[in-house]
Amino acid sequence: MEKTWNNKAWFFVLPVLLLVAFSAVIPLMTVVNYSVQDSFGNNQFFWYGADWFREVLTSERFHDALLRNLLFSAIILAIEVPLGILVALAMPKKGIWVPVCLVLMALPLLIPWNVVGTIWQVFARTDIGLLGYTVDALGIDYNYVRNVLDAWVTVVVMDVWHWTSLVVLLCYAGLVSIPDAYYQAAKIDGASRWAVFRYIQLPKMGRVLLIAVLLRFMDSFMIYTEPFVVTGGGPGNSTTFLSIDLVKLAIGQFNIGEAAAMSLIYFLIILLLSWIFYTVMTNAGNDKPMTGGAE
Amino acid sequence: MSDQATTAHPSLPGAAHSESAIAARSRMKTGHFKWKALIPALYIVFLLLPIYWLVNMSFKTNQEILGTLTLWPQNPTLRNYEVIFTDPSWYMGYVNSIIYVLMNMVISVAVALPAAYAFSRYRFLGDKHLFFWLLTNRMAPPAVFALPFFQLYSAFGLIDTHIAVALAHCLFNVPLAVWILEGFMSGVPKEIDETAYIDGYSFPKFFFKIFTPLIASGIGVAAFFCFMFSWVELLLARTLTVTDAKPISAIMTRTVSASGMDWGVLAAAGALTIIPGAIVIWFVRNYIAKGFALGRV
């Protein structure tokens, strides 16, 4: 759409700016402020320069949490995105089952995150939970409180349960917006199922898929409540992701300076990785020969 | 039910309906259909099992929960729900949550509307940077903001008020609302604005009488997502409240640690938190899918 150049539009944006300034800029400045100072208590602060940043960047604890979180996000994306596309493709396009499917699938998205944690904490317990009991009855030694692998499996399955529906809903939104003429043309051409997916459905889903990947990446990288409720970051530190580690540092140990420096590094990593995802995925979309005319 | 199904795809042109029905039937004939239906069915079973287990537990006595594993309550009891509905410290949690979620929804949509209009209709100095900067707030981990928020709101004497939580949740809901509304508004042709001005409408009259009804579904979708992300968030809501505005999800965690695991009440409280979300989804079911498709990155 042709847009008019008009700087008065700033007045429309002003309420948002003021609100976000209050709820984002001021707190962020506080974090920056803390990250360059140290304190001996009594609210007496002194300049500490970039030392906190150096400390965080060289600390093994931060590296471990970062690697764990990267691994977690990678697993989550590798499972949820293909599974979400698969379910969206298999969903009925019309009929009485459409609203039923949509409502049931959206259900986990609207459960408070600590309740999600509670549900899985209970569900996976070997004494009172259906899943834990069943797995145990099958003769598999399963205990998410003691065993690192079991804890990871539980947290990953929980996240798949919680968030795959978001990918499904987004992909489904992309799929229903494809005009039937495309499929008819493909049928006349005798295109295979794979060709239809590769050259019609995938390009048309490109934009919503980008949103899905970005949202899933951001949220899995910021995950806090659910694993905290289920495993409390344990066993040991094996499920201590960045947010859990940050809260431990800031509130548990009250190490404000280091926590603030870690916050900023953490935020920058999310921004950087989101930007990389965005750039790579938009470029990949542009390279496809079929997308040009379709968009 | 069948007209609901049709309204689920308002984006499809009407003429295509009969053609696609033929296509669907031909797909059925080849036998793909049954196999295809299995995938969503299995997926939904996977989604519902843990929820069923929670609801199942909420109707059991603690004895039964801890005693034997039963697939449905042998001695169904409403005692767990009774505990919640007779104790203000429990049920006020739901009231608090709903108050701040509604406040957040109203604030987010109200400030996002003019901003989204500006982004969809005008070019102005720094518009693209501003839009991207707004979106970066969606990427800010709440854990980063918990402590500074606490200090900021303490300074303003807002701790333990509903408005504090509502404002804090604007951090991630306002960018999202602007983003969704901008997508919907860009779908409305600019000629409509121009025609209205030629017809002598003033801007406010045009905006509320003509423009707002046109993007009503967009407002609904934006409000839905604000509801969703505000309702499910716990970290900030818990940090900013003490007793008067404490959300139900925070009350749950406190009671779990204090009372030596009253599993039945915990399950009942959890099951009750699912209901508001379920009601909201039912109302917006026809727009959930459409809402994100119109968004822009």
Q: Per-residue pLDDT tens for B171-216?
A: 889 988 998 888 888 888 888 888 888 988 888 899 988 898 888 8
At how many degrees (to 10) do helices A202-221 and A256-287 cross? 170
Q: Who's near B15: CB < 8 A, 6+ residues apart?
A: none
- Taking contacts as CB-CB distances below 8 angstroms, the residues of chain B near A173 are 288-293
A-B CB pairs within 8 A amount to: 324
Q: Do B53 and A211 count as a contact with CB atoms less than 8 A apart?
A: no
* pLDDT score, position A48: 73
What span, in angstroms and rounded, lies between the C-alpha atoms of A209 and A206?
A: 5
Backbone phi, then psi, for A47, in 5-degree steps?
-60, 135
Q: Do A102 and B167 count as a contact with CB atoms less than 8 A apart?
A: no
Q: Is B278 on the interface with A (CB under 8 A)?
A: yes
> For chain B, which residues score pLDDT lower than 70?
1-34, 253-260, 288-297
Q: Do A170 and B282 count as a contact with CB atoms less than 8 A apart?
A: no
| Residue % of chain A over a pLDDT of 90 | 16
For residue A32, give how far its alpha carbon lies from the nearest alpha carbon of chain B (Å). Answer: 10
- List A47's β-bridge partners, or say none: A37
Q: Do A13 and B253 count as a contact with CB atoms less than 8 A apart?
A: no
Number of residues assigned to chain A: 295
Query: Can you read off the two tokens belonging to residue A183?
Result: 């499929």
Q: Is the dihedral of CA B235, B239, B242, B244 positive or negative?
A: negative
* pLDDT score, position B241: 86
Q: Is the pLDDT of residue A240 over 70?
A: yes
Q: Per-residue pLDDT tens for A155-210?
A: 999 999 999 998 998 888 888 878 888 888 998 988 888 898 888 888 888 878 88
Residues 57-116 of B with CB under 8 A from A: 57, 65-66, 69, 71, 107, 110-112, 114-115
Residues 124-163 of B with CB under 8 A from A: 124-125, 127, 130, 134, 136-149, 151-152
Secondary structure of residue A38 in the 3-state scheme:
strand
Q: Per-residue pLDDT tens for A95-141?
A: 788 888 888 998 999 898 888 988 898 888 888 888 888 888 888 88
* pLDDT score, position B294: 58
Question: CA distances (Å), A50 to each of A36, A37, A127, B47, in order?
Answer: 6, 9, 50, 47
Question: Which residue would you say has higher pLDDT here, A23 or B30?
Answer: A23
Q: Is the dihedral of CA B198, B204, B206, B207 positive or negative?
A: positive
Secondary structure of residue B12 in the 3-state scheme:
coil
Average pLDDT, chain A: 84
Q: Is B6 on the interface with A (CB under 8 A)?
A: yes
Q: Is the pLDDT of residue A42 over 70?
A: no
Q: Where are the beta strands (DSSP E) in chain B?
A: 122-123
Sorted by where each starts, the structural domains of chain A and their CATH numbers stand as 59-286 (1.10.3720.10)
* pLDDT score, position A155: 92
Q: Is the pLDDT of residue A41 over 80?
A: no
Pick A15's closest partner by Cβ from B23, B114, B134: B114
Residue type, B119: F
Q: Do B232 and A113 count as a contact with CB atoms less than 8 A apart?
A: yes
Name the residue with tokens 């080849």: B30
Question: Which residue would you say has higher pLDDT here, A234 or B155?
Answer: B155
Determine whether domain B88-292 maps to CATH 3.40.50.280.
no
What span, in angstroms and rounded, lies between the C-alpha atoms of B135 and B178?
A: 9
* pLDDT score, position A163: 93
For residue B291, give how far its alpha carbon lies from the nearest alpha carbon of chain A (Å). Answer: 8
What span, in angstroms and rounded, lies between the C-alpha atoms of A212 and A270?
A: 15
* pLDDT score, position B9: 44
* pLDDT score, position B10: 43
Secondary structure of residue A291 in the 3-state scheme:
helix
Q: Is B1 on the interface with A (CB under 8 A)?
A: yes
What span, in angstroms and rounded, lies between the C-alpha atoms of A171 and A89?
A: 8
Residue type, B171: L
CA angle B194, B195, B197 (to 5 degrees): 65
Q: Per-residue pLDDT tens for A254-286?
A: 778 888 888 889 989 988 988 888 888 777 766
Secondary structure of residue A39 in the 3-state scheme:
strand
Secondary structure of residue A45 in the 3-state scheme:
strand
Q: Which of A113, A180, A187 to mutate to test the interface with B (most CBs of B within 10 A)?
A: A180
* pLDDT score, position A285: 64
